[in-house]
Homo-oligomer: A and B are copies of this chain.
């Protein structure tokens, strides 16, 4: 998979605020204990039961399998940085792996918290598209695997909050204006009232670097997948999107020159720095992304910017360099990449 193949659709809906949408399905293989209770042999069994479902002849997707036990720590890190596996999945020990579709927008983690977590991602606000893709994968897997299922409680999962449909939708939202206007706490409170989880760019426990907030439904039980999807796509996320858009317009009206100043400075810094840490780079890229969406920056394509948030991570820099880098070397490589990618057209 190359980054080129993964280029998000520039016309993705609501992509001024919604970086990506995701749909995830959690499943467990009937007759094998949940991962946290399974021993090595049982975990291996889970993998053996799942792998045949990925056979190209029957699977809806062509995938590549990564055995997380045998690949290097750097390779695991890169998969994590690309949001193909969770931090937990990278850091765990024992038999586990991930199948990744060619375009890098679909993955199936095996032996993370559940035996199977299928996960699709799409640019902008289109969780329906993600759900369709991940549901197809689930359907073809079902032909080979019997999932743990309870007549009353639905699909069974290691954590009860995932039981029922086992489906979770999420959207990675870029909320720099709400952060600048200090209204983010209101969003957090509203999200809490709506039983949504709010996380950072790199999932649970990660800081909201780059002013990205991943919002997802916490409850997967008690309503149908379609109800969950409708509620998420038509009410919850659009509400936050509009709130962020209003905050952006308010900023422009209140002090356009200050916003321009901030955007132009950050762009100039990333076009000139010789060394830069990842947090600073995320923060400045975030401001530039705001500038692009407000049409204050014309010569940086949104797609390229979106990719940079991942490409500047240490693992990917090391993968590109094809060797391990010291922190100062990483900072220099990151600055070089940013200068090249953001060079004026």
Contacts and interface: CB of A to CB of B under 8 A. Distances in A.
Interface stretch (A2-10, A270-278, A309-317): A270-278
B274 A264 contact: yes
Contact of A265 (B258, B267, B273, B332): B273
A343 interface: no
A258 B257 CA distance: 30
A187 interface: no
Band of interface residues on A: 10 to 19
Contact of A257 (B257, B271, B332): B332
A265 B269 contact: yes
A225 interface: no
Interface in A247-284: 257-258, 260-261, 264-265, 267-269, 271-276
A280 to B, nearest CB: 11
A335 interface: yes
Contact of A261 (B260, B264, B271, B335): B335
A165 to B, nearest CB: 50
Interface string A311-338: 0000000000000000010001001000
Contacts of A264: 272-274
Contacts of A274: 257-258, 260-261, 264
A276 B260 CA distance: 12
A269 B276 CA distance: 15
Interface in A127-149: none
B275 A268 contact: no
A260 B275 CA distance: 9
Contacts of A271: 268
Contacts of A332: 257
Contacts of A273: 261, 264-265
Contacts of A267: 272
Contacts of A269: 265, 268-269
Nearest to A262: B274
Nearest to A266: B272
Residue with the greatest number of chain B CB neighbours at <10 A, chosen from A260, A264, A271, A335: A264
24 contacts: A257-B274, A257-B275, A257-B328, A257-B332, A258-B274, A258-B275, A260-B274, A261-B273, A261-B274, A261-B275, A261-B276, A261-B335, A264-B272, A264-B273, A264-B274, A265-B269, A265-B272, A265-B273, A267-B272, A268-B268, A268-B269, A268-B271, A268-B272, A269-B269
Which 3 residue pairs are nearest across A and B when measured between Cβ atoms? A268-B272, A261-B274, A268-B268
Given A261-B273, A268-B269, A268-B272, 11 more contacts: A257-B328, A258-B274, A260-B274, A261-B274, A261-B276, A264-B272, A265-B273, A267-B272, A268-B268, A268-B271, A269-B269
